[in-house]
């Protein structure tokens, strides 16, 4: 599990989906396309995206989430008991419709464009969440693979909706028991398949901390019904630890960002990781995969008091801009952290995926490749400088 070289380069998960894949995805969602037909198109996209990552020098690639509608809604196809519902369909069940309305207007999106997986029956397993993705990707890369999964907290909170889910699970905590069970089983299956890195996506934790006074953003339909932030963060810690308890031999990461559906920085959340860190540090995971290229994420200094407790997957490029960060800029950023953080505990990645939502690529594959290549070049320079120092120390 331990990395031989310093500053391993990895992705956060999603890669821009080509137009022909999005078309096939739409066709599949409208039930106008056989599953095998869609999977054949997605196979091609995965091969292309693995190839692009390898050429860009990514040490730990992902399959680009090419088969997924988005990073958490895809579970609808993988589990029984869930329905992918549009926010427009959920409006009849919402308690605070005015807040949703403000958010929709701020984002300038229709309610039918935002979909959430909602639990409507007791959850049942089918053939795993990402095991088919891994089986295919492993045939097309020899590099260690990163597999992003929706985190237990996000999966629970985003899919429990009062009026729909409470008929089978009285409260989110009840649903969480089944979610944890399913995720634990998945993690063990992925580990058996030789997956090196499992990343749990918990981006809504930033919404918990910074979304309370803001109507600028939301990532899933159920969130505005949330409770006290510290209770929610404590629940996130508990669910994560229940999910990973006693499982070793695989690297666990948790990814937290501030939204990645728009290139308009002003509609995304801002605020540093400080208030979240006491909770994130209690999670039994190896790595925090965080954004730090965007100034909205605040300063690296918040890690000073948590020196070397966890690996940091340092976000060094902004996936939402056309400008390619230079290796020199990336090196300088990493050095800021390496002043007080063990270089052996620093991984390099973009702030988030390049296409978190299938219909909203935040960049092109060409720019994504160039950004990853810039990270790889920076990592090379950093290794040249730090490899000797690490060996000597």
Q: What whole-number distance in Å separates Cα of residue 347 and Cα of residue 3?
A: 10
113 lines the binding site for another protein (CB under 8 A): yes
What character string, x for contact with another protein (CB under 8 A) and - otherwise, covers 47-86? Answer: ---------------------------------------x
Q: Which is nearer to another protein, 110 or 194 (CB)?
A: 110
CB of 29 to another protein, least distance (A): 10
Residue 116's SS3 state is: strand
Cβ proximity to another protein, 91 vs 212, nearer residue: 91
- 111 touches another protein (CB under 8 A): yes
Q: Does 110 bind another protein (CB under 8 A)?
A: yes
Q: Which stretch binds another protein (CB under 8 A): 111-119, 156-164, 291-299, 378-386?
A: 111-119
Least distance (Å) from another protein to the CB of residue 112?
4
Q: Is 145 helix (H, G, I), strand (E, B) or coil?
A: coil
Residue count, binding to another protein (CB under 8 A): 10
Which region among 73-81, 103-111, 181-189, 236-244 touches another protein (by CB under 8 A)? 103-111
User: What ranges in the chain are assigned the alpha helix state H?
Assistant: 19-29, 35-55, 75-78, 87-90, 97-107, 131-140, 152-159, 172-192, 204-210, 229-244, 277-280, 327-338, 365-392
Supply the minimum distance, in Å, between the C-beta of residue 30 and another protein: 7
**Tokens encoding 310:** 């966890």
d(CA 69, CA 115): 10
Least Cβ distance, residue 110 to another protein (angstroms)? 3
Among 112, 301, 332, 366, binds another protein (CB under 8 A): 112
- Least separation, in Å, of the C-beta of 280 and another protein? 37
Q: Does 99 bind another protein (CB under 8 A)?
A: no
Give the span between the Cα atoms of 241 and 285, in whole angstroms.
8
104 binds another protein (CB under 8 A): yes
Beta-strand relationship, 251-256 and 197-201:
parallel
Q: Is 141 helix (H, G, I), strand (E, B) or coil?
A: coil
Tell which positions 165-224 bind another protein, by CB under 8 A: none
CA separation, residue 213 to residues 114, 258, 260 (Å) = 21, 15, 19
CB of 73 vs another protein, minimal distance in Å? 16
Instruction: Determine which residue in the list 22, 33, 84, 109 makes contact with another protein, applying CB under 8 A.
Output: 109
Which residues, in sequence order, are CB contacts of 28 under 8 Å at separation 6+? 35, 37, 38
C-alpha 138/C-alpha 155 separation (Å) is 26
Q: Closest CB to another protein among 30 and 392?
A: 30
Question: In the complex, what is the shortest distance from the CB of residue 262 to another protein, in angstroms, rounded to a whole number?
Answer: 16
Q: Quick one: which of 19, 30, 391, 392 contacts another protein (CB under 8 A)?
A: 30
CA–CA separation, 336 and 376 (whole Å): 18
Instruction: Decide if 105 contacts 147 (C-beta within 8 A).
Output: no
Partners of residue 315 on adjacent β-strands: 349
| H or E element at residue 93 | none
Q: Are 103 and 218 in contact (CB under 8 A)?
A: yes
**CB closer to another protein, 89 vs 342:** 89
Residues that bind another protein (CB under 8 A): 30, 86, 88, 104-105, 109-113
């Amino acid at each position: 599990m331990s990395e031989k070289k310093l500053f391993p380069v990895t992705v956060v998960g999603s890669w821009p989906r080509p137009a022909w894949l999005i078309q096939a995805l739409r066709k599949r969602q409208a039930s106008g396309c056989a599953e095998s037909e869609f999977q054949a198109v997605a196979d091609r996209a995965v091969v292309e995206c693995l190839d692009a990552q390898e050429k860009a020098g990514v040490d730990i690639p992902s399959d680009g989430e090419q088969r997924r509608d988005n990073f958490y809604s895809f579970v609808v196809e993988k589990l029984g008991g869930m329905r992918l519902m549009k926010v427009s369909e959920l409006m009849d069940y919402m308690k605070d419709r005015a807040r949703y309305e403000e958010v929709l207007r701020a984002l300038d999106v229709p309610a039918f464009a935002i979909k959430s997986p909602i639990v409507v029956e007791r959850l049942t397993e089918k053939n795993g969440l990402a095991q088919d993705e891994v089986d295919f990707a492993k045939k097309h890369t020899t590099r260690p693979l990163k597999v992003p999964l929706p985190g237990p907290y996000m999966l629970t909170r985003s899919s429990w909706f009062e009026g729909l889910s409470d008929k089978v699970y009285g409260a989110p905590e009840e649903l969480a028991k089944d979610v944890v069970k399913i995720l634990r089983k998945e993690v063990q299956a992925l580990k058996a398949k030789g997956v090196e890195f499992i990343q749990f996506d918990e981006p809504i934790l930033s919404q918990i901390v910074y979304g309370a006074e803001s109507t600028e953003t939301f990532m899933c339909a159920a969130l505005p019904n949330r409770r006290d932030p510290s209770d929610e963060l404590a629940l996130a810690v508990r669910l994560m630890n229940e999910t990973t308890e006693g499982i070793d031999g695989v690297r666990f990461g948790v990814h937290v960002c501030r939204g990645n559906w728009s290139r308009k920085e002003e509609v995304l959340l801002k605020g540093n990781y400080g208030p979240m860190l006491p909770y994130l540090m209690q999670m039994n995971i190896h790595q925090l995969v965080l954004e730090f290229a965007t100034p909205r994420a605040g300063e690296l200094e918040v890690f000073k008091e948590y020196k070397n407790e966890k690996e940091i997957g340092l976000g060094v490029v902004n996936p939402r801009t056309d400008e390619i960060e230079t290796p020199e800029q990336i090196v300088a950023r990493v050095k800021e952290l390496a002043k007080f953080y063990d270089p052996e505990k620093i991984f390099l990645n973009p702030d988030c995926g390049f296409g978190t939502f299938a219909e909203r690529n935040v960049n092109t594959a060409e720019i994504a490749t160039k950004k990853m290549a810039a990270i790889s070049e920076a990592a090379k320079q950093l290794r040249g400088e730090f490899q000797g120092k690490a060996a000597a120390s």
